[in-house]
Amino acid sequence: MPTDTRTALLDLIATLSFKLGDFTLASGQKSDYYIDCRTTTLHAEGGRLAGLVLYD
């Protein structure tokens, strides 16, 4: 797999899925960041890139 595909996916995850702030996790613990990859995989380009990375 070309590394540019993986890099593009990581860039998209950083842009769409990574959030800073105060979050209460399902465990009840607190976190100052949250990563929700559903946002990226449901994005058209994110879904395509995730598919290519997983296929490889």
Residue 2 — very low, low, confident or very high, per pLDDT cuts 50/70/90?
low
Give the structural domain span for 27. Answer: 3-55
pLDDT digits (tens, 9 = 90+) for 25-38: 999 999 999 999 99
Of all residues in the chain, the percent with pLDDT exceeding 70 is: 96
User: Residue 1 above 60 pLDDT?
Assistant: no
CB count within 10 Å of CB 36 equals: 13
Percent share of the chain, pLDDT over 90 = 93
Q: How many CB atoms lie within 10 A of CB 40?
A: 22
pLDDT in tens, 6-55: 999 999 999 999 999 999 999 999 999 999 999 999 999 999 999 999 99
pTM of the model: 0.82
State how many domains the chain has: 1
